[in-house]
Amino acid sequence: MSDDSRPAPAAAARTAAVIPAAGRGVRLGPGAPKALRSLGGTPMLIHAVRAMAASRAVSLVVVVAPPDGAAEVKSLLDAHALPGGTPSGSWGRTDFAVVPGGESRQESVRLGLEALPPGYDIVLVHDAARPLVPVDTVDAVIEAVRDGAPAVVPALPLADTVKQVEPAAVPGDPEPVVATPERARLRAVQTPQGFDRAALVRAHETVTGDVTDDASMVEQLGLAVVVVPGHEEAFKVTRPLDLVLAEAVLARRRLNDGF
């Protein structure tokens, strides 16, 4: 067997992260687009980019900005670049790019994927709205993709029991319960989700229905999706109370870091 017939070593695969940040944040209430709202004095998006750049494996971050906000996001990233005067478009060893997003999260992710240069065989998709995900979670996702899974999602067991209902025609009316899935077998899914790039690109070219995460698109292709342990600090900032929790997590980190 010649060397050429062997697959390239998995560790050589380069990893890029796509960060959809083009949403308005309607559930958070009136104000700036959610990704640009401040958390501990720094825009949420900057926290999310730092969380990806914190992984030594991630060498490119593509931010998908609000459709009319790409220039603003680009200057924001330059302004928050690591100290040491790195050139525009990079944070130390991590390059970044900004593209305008679309109407849906799905479309925004697709636009981010289209902006990826060749050479990145592993792609993470990470919500800007999950600014506090720890680097260990990011690395665990990447490692599972390197180990051969076409799609990897971090997830946690549920605290609440979940009911499937027949949605009421009039909001607020009582809703009949249809089923109660066994809680021990359910997981609440977070990001970053990690993918073999070719599988994710094919999923975005093939799957047309509405989805709320990228892994479910790969699932629809019939490919294996695996779950690795998520982290409670990877929660999504969705409603006003989530901002309170995020500020508290940051305050706890500052205390622990001795600031």
Give the binding site for Mg ion (CB under 5 A): 23
131 binds, among ligand CTP, Mg ion, none (CB under 5 to 8 A by kind): none
* Cβ within 8 Å of residue 197, ≥6 positions away: 116, 120, 121, 122, 123
Q: What angle do CA 211, 24, 140 make, to 5 degrees?
A: 55
Looking at the Cβ atoms of 32 and 81, the one nearer to ligand CTP is 32
How many whole angstroms separate alpha carbon 45 and alpha carbon 233? 15
CB of 29 to Mg ion, least distance (A): 14
* Interface size with ligand CTP, residues (CB under 6 A): 22
Instruction: Output DSSP code: residue 166.
Output: -
For position 102 contacting ligand CTP by CB under 6 A, the verdict is: yes
φ, ψ dihedrals at 33, nearest 5°: -50, 140
By beta-carbon distance, which residue lies closest to Mg ion?
Answer: 23
CB of 23 to Mg ion, least distance (A): 5
Among 3, 4, 103, 210, interactor with ligand CTP by CB under 6 A? 103
Looking at the Cβ atoms of 1 and 26, the one nearer to ligand CTP is 26
* Cβ within 8 Å of residue 21, ≥6 positions away: 33, 35, 45, 48, 63, 64, 65, 66, 73, 101, 108, 128
Site string for ligand CTP, 51-90 (x = CB under 6 A): -------------x--------------------------
User: Contact at 8 Å (CB) between 100 and 64?
Assistant: yes
Which residues bind to ligand CTP, rule: CB under 6 A?
20-27, 34-35, 64, 101-105, 108, 127-129, 236, 238
